[in-house]
């Protein structure tokens, strides 16, 4: 697995290090890699939908319909995306088709309506929002060329009003968490004060994976892990620590071969397209030199035929569809391997004996079971609807949120995010300046006394 894919597959990453240990530099690299992986994942989702539903829908017309129907100034939630699909089918196809179930993943067979609603949502992220990094320090993306979106402190405050929508496929970056996060203050308050001042940041941190359906990654930098509060206490008399699991495919070699074949077919499709585009460019060149209409019309025909080829259900996509179906079937023969440790005390979690390299007072276990006993048998994102309801009350989508205008974090850039801790620093500086000015003014007004000789 590529490193950017591995990093982006995680949901909450804490980077800890001393001052000068290049935390911010590594943070920027992680953010770029995560964004690259998420863009690739969105493109794969779009391409796979076009392959599986190429005979059902004309995706060129559908893209035009999305552009005309989806208002980028409004916040959209699940129902709105489905409504866009419904309106398209009402004009161009049978609405009954929307209820058909299509195998989209090995353990998921959603309806065409659900698949296309997700397609519309991803289309919005790719071609309308276009920016996939939110940060409290400006980051220029090497993937899109855009500066990052300023993340407001209210974005994390689940119990406070927030005008920004909670969207998917984002890399959320918080540099110097110990400075900008005020949740540690709550630990020193009495019970009533905590209730009055708690803004829901801790709850958001626990539920943000549900809210994005596993598509967002949060990167946090801190000089110490103690700067990030632990708001959950372990109370049982036995503790189970889960180590990173692994997946074992019974038909792993066959699936790798299928993925290789699919990749080769995609390359052939691209080469076929590039070859025709070279013919198109030659005809345009001939037209510019000889000024004969026949070259222009031939170039126009080539461009229309072969540019449209990539978006239609062509012979290459027909082959890919067959191999994709076979890959989905073989993917069902999956076993999960989960290493765990059974601890007697909370203190032993993650603690190792340096001499024997064993977990202290712990019992290692290895669970192996078929994936079909768990996958698609529970709601993996049970709290997603919390954010869906929240978006109904939001007024501004991220596509309408202004970007950082400079790579230098000035006071103006900081004020875009409205962090209370940062605002307090500037307020203290302003207050101190006013005090200094007043002291200088008062000292000038005082009469000067000279000793007489």
**pLDDT for the residue 231:** 45
Query: Collapsing DSSP states into helix, strand and coil, what is residue 423?
Result: helix
3-state secondary structure of 314: coil
Question: How sure is the predictor about 28, in pLDDT bands with cuts at 50, 70 and 90?
Answer: confident
Who has greater pLDDT, 141 or 443? Answer: 141
pTM over 0.75: no
How do strand 133-135 and strand 149-150 relate by DSSP bridges? parallel
Average pLDDT over residues 404-433: 84
- Name the residue among 232, 136, 229, 135 with its Cα closest to residue 183: 229
Q: Please tell me the distance from the alpha carbon of residue 30 to that of residue 269, in angstroms, as a whole number.
A: 32
Task: Look at phi and psi of residue 433 and say left if phi exceeds 0, alpha if psi is from -120 to 50, else beta.
Answer: alpha
Question: In percent, how much of the chain has pLDDT > 90?
Answer: 16
* Mean pLDDT of all residues in 425-440: 86
Q: Looking at residue 48, what is its pLDDT?
A: 92
pLDDT above 90: residue 391: no
pLDDT score of 291: 61
Q: Which of 38-47, 60-69, 179-188, 313-322 has the lowest mean pLDDT?
A: 179-188
Between residues 40 and 350, the one the model is more confident about: 40
Give the separation between CA 315 and CA 273, rounded to whole angstroms: 13
Least confident of 59-63, 275-279, 359-363, 421-425: 359-363
Residue with more model confidence, 294 or 333? 333
* Weakest mean pLDDT among 212-216, 316-320, 446-450: 446-450
- For residue 451, the model assigns a pLDDT of 56
What's the rounded mean pLDDT across residues 196-221?
77
Question: 209 falls in which pLDDT band (50, 70, 90)?
Answer: confident
211-248 pLDDT, tens digit each: 888 899 888 887 655 555 544 333 344 566 667 778 88
What average pLDDT does the segment 426-433 reach?
87
pLDDT of 61 higher than 70: yes
- Between 441 and 222, name the one with better pLDDT: 441
C-alpha dihedral over 134, 140, 142, 145, to 10 degrees?
90
Residue range 40-65: mean pLDDT, rounded: 91
Average model confidence (pLDDT) for the chain?
77
Q: Is the pLDDT of residue 201 over 60?
A: yes
Select the more confidently predicted residue: 135 or 307.
135
Of 28 and 269, more confident = 28
Task: Name the more confident of 95 and 133.
Answer: 133
Residue 364 sits at φ, ψ, to 5 deg, of -75, 140
In the numeric block, the tokens 């929508």 are attached to: 165
Residue percentage of the chain with pLDDT more than 70:
70
Mean pLDDT of 325-334: 87
Q: Are strands 239-242 and 246-249 parallel, antiparallel or unpaired?
A: unpaired
* Residue that wins the pLDDT comparison between 166 and 283: 166
For residue 380, what pLDDT band results from cuts at 50, 70 and 90?
low
324 vs 66 pLDDT, higher one: 66
Domain ranges of the chain: 3-233+382-400, 252-330, 411-445
Place of tokens 């035009």: 64
| Residues 141-193: tens digit of each pLDDT | 889 989 899 888 778 777 776 788 889 999 998 887 655 565 555 545 555 55
The pair of three-digit structure tokens given for residue 309, joined into one six-digit string = 């080829």
Q: Return the pLDDT at 359.
A: 46
Determine the pLDDT at residue 115: 94
pLDDT tens per residue across span 84-99: 999 998 887 778 788 8
């Amino acid at each position: 697995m590529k490193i950017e894919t591995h990093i982006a597959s995680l949901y909450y990453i804490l980077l800890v290090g001393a001052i000068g240990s290049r935390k911010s530099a590594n943070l920027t690299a992680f953010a770029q890699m995560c964004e690259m992986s998420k863009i690739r994942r969105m493109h794969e989702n779009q391409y796979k939908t076009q392959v599986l539903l190429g005979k059902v829908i004309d995706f060129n017309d559908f893209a035009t319909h999305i552009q005309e129907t989806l208002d980028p100034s409004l916040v959209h939630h699940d129902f709105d995306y489905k409504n866009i699909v419904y309106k398209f089918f009402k004009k161009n196809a049978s609405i009954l088709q929307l209820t058909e179930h299509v195998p989209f993943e090995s353990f998921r067979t959603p309806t065409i309506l659900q698949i296309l609603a997700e397609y519309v949502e991803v289309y919005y992220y790719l071609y309308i929002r276009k920016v996939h990094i939110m940060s409290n320090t400006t980051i220029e993306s090497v993937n899109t060329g855009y500066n990052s979106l300023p993340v407001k402190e209210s974005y994390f405050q689940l119990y406070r009003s927030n005008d920004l929508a909670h969207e998917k496929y984002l890399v959320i970056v918080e540099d110097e968490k110990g400075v900008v996060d005020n949740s540690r203050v709550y630990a020193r308050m009495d019970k009533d004060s905590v209730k009055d001042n708690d803004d829901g940041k801790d709850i958001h941190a626990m539920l943000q994976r549900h809210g994005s359906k596993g598509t967002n990654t949060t990167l946090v930098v801190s000089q110490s892990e103690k700067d990030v509060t632990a708001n959950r206490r372990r109370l049982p008399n036995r503790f189970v620590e889960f180590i990173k699991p692994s997946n074992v495919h019974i038909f792993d070699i066959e699936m790798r071969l299928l993925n290789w074949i699919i990749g080769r077919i995609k390359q052939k499709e691209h080469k076929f397209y590039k070859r025709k585009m070279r013919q198109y460019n030659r005809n345009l060149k001939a037209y510019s030199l000889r000024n004969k209409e026949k070259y222009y019309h031939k170039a126009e025909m080539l461009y229309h035929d072969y540019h449209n080829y990539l978006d239609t259900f062509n012979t290459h996509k027909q082959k890919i569809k067959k191999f994709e179906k076979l890959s989905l079937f073989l993917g069902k023969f999956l076993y999960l391997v989960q290493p765990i440790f059974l601890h007697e005390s909370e203190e032993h979690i993650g603690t190792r004996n340096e001499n024997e390299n064993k977990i202290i007072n712990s019992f290692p276990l290895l669970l192996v079971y078929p994936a079909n006993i768990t996958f698609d048998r529970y709601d993996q994102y049970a709290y997603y609807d919390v954010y869906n309801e929240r978006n109904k009350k939001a007024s501004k989508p991220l596509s309408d949120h202004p970007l950082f205008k400079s790579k230098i974090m000035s006071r103006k850039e900081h004020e875009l995010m409205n962090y209370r801790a940062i605002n307090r620093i500037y307020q203290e500086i302003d207050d101190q300046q006013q005090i200094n000015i007043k002291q200088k003014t008062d000292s000038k007004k005082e009469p000067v006394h000279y000793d007489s000789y």
